[in-house]
């Protein structure tokens, strides 16, 4: 089996016939036919129904086409890698990110990585922290950016790269009384409890014995803030990923403050790999930059 035979097979599937594939590949029809007969010998299976004229792919052939496309894609990527001058890190990395990070930090982080390591190929998956942790454990992901989990498998390590404060966010016109009073009084816009930040919020409310009037539940910071801007309720969000509209909203700290930890999750033995460290440092730089600057006296 050769990559040329696989390209011919895919060309037949896409163009519909041996003759059309031959024209597309600048070959004779007999050469196409010979390649497919040789491929069938290698595969020890018939790939075409030759009772019809012209021959058409059978079920074995169509299954092979899907695999052939992936092999061709990887082959072309290897050729590109070999012909491209090495700048920065090379190879591939499977990265998982939680939704809030995917929305707010992933685009600029990927841009930074692409500029610094143009030959590094990154595949992205988004999911909740427990789901991403399982995929790292099972080697379906190389690294993930997650919130700290209560339990971790012994095969993985969590390394904190940022800490974000969770604050009560409310429209300025409604901001009266203590944090506890506002949370008890106004409809509560809740973060999905299945998400890491949602569990931290629930734990905080229980620990401080704050009863809330549940109104809506979201897994999107933007949606929650839109509801609050319309004076429909109060919410709690990680302010590190959200820049409050100070003309409209108040963001108020708990006393003592509440934080969530964001970190990098990888298997033992790979957390210090150059590609994993590069991803960690890229996210760390933007997570640090996204923290609100402390308010103080203006310099004259």
When pLDDT is cut at 50, 70 and 90, the band that residue 81 belongs to is: low
Same domain, 149 and 63: no
Same domain, 73 and 215: no
Same domain, 123 and 234: yes
Same domain, 130 and 21: no
| pLDDT tens column, 132-172 | 999 999 889 999 999 888 888 899 999 988 888 899 999 99
Q: Would residue 298 count as lying in a domain?
A: no
Decide which of 60, 83, 106 is a domain's last residue: 83
Same domain, 92 and 226: yes
When pLDDT is cut at 50, 70 and 90, the band that residue 295 belongs to is: very low
- Please say whether the beta carbons of 17 and 48 come within 8 A: no
Q: Would residue 148 count as lying in a domain?
A: yes
- Please say whether the beta carbons of 280 and 94 come within 8 A: no
Highest-pLDDT range among 84-88, 201-205, 290-294:
201-205
- What gap in Å lies between CA 104 and CA 262, rounded to an integer? 14
User: Which residue do the tokens 């991403």 mark?
Assistant: 132
Structural domain that includes position 49: 3-83
| pLDDT value at 296 more than 50 | no
CATH number for position 126: 3.40.190.290
Q: Would residue 260 count as lying in a domain?
A: yes
| pLDDT value at 194 more than 80 | no
Q: Would residue 300 count as lying in a domain?
A: no
Backbone angles phi, psi at 299, to 5 degrees: -80, 140
When pLDDT is cut at 50, 70 and 90, the band that residue 87 belongs to is: low
Instruction: Count up the domains in the chain and report the number.
Output: 2
| Average pLDDT over every residue of 202-231 | 90
Decide which of 42, 64, 83 is a domain's last residue: 83
Same domain, 16 and 127: no
| pLDDT value at 233 more than 90 | yes
Backbone angles phi, psi at 271, to 5 degrees: -65, -25
Same domain, 61 and 110: no
Same domain, 7 and 107: no
| pLDDT tens column, 114-127 | 888 888 888 999 88
User: Considering the chain, what percentage of its residues have pLDDT values greater than 90?
Assistant: 33
Q: Which H or E element spans position 13?
A: helix 3-15
Strands (E), 17-85: 48-49, 56-57
| pLDDT value at 299 more than 80 | no
Decide which of 48, 83, 118 is a domain's last residue: 83
Q: Would residue 299 count as lying in a domain?
A: no
Same domain, 92 and 180: yes
- What gap in Å lies between CA 174 and CA 199, rounded to an integer? 26
| Average pLDDT over every residue of 207-235 | 90
- What gap in Å lies between CA 160 and CA 264, rounded to an integer? 6
The per-residue pLDDT for 135 is 93
Same domain, 166 and 18: no
Summary mean pLDDT of the chain: 85
């Amino acid at each position: 089996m050769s990559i040329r035979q696989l390209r011919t097979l895919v060309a037949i599937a896409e163009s519909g016939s041996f003759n059309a594939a031959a024209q597309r590949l600048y070959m004779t029809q007999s050469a196409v036919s010979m390649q497919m007969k040789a491929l069938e010998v290698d595969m020890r299976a018939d790939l075409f129904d030759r009772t019809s004229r012209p021959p058409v792919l059978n079920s074995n052939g169509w299954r092979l086409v899907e695999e052939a496309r992936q092999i061709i894609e990887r082959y072309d990527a290897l050729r590109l890698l070999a012909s491209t001058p090495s700048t920065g890190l090379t190879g591939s990395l499977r990265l998982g990110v939680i939704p809030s990070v995917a929305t707010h930090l992933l685009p600029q982080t990927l841009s930074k990585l692409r500029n610094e390591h143009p030959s590094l190929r990154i595949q992205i998956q988004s999911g909740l922290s427990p789901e991403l942790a399982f995929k790292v454990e099972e080697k379906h992901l190389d690294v993930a950016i997650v919130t700290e989990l209560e339990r971790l498998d012994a095969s993985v390590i969590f390394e904190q790269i940022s800490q974000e404060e969770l604050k009560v966010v409310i429209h300025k016109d409604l901001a009266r009384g203590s944090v506890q009073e506002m949370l008890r009084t106004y409809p509560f816009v809740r973060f999905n409890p299945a998400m890491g930040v949602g569990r931290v919020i629930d734990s905080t409310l229980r620990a401080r014995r704050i009863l809330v009037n549940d109104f809506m539940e979201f897994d999107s910071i933007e949606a929650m803030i839109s509801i609050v801007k319309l004076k429909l309720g109060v919410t709690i969000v990680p302010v590190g990923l959200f820049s409050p509209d100070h003309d409209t909203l108040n963001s108020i700290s708990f006393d003592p403050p509440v934080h969530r930890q964001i970190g990098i999750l990888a298997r033992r033995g790979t957390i210090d790999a150059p590609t994993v460290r590069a991803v960690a440092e890229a996210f760390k730089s933007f997570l640090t930059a996204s923290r609100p600057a402390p308010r103080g006296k203006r310099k004259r």
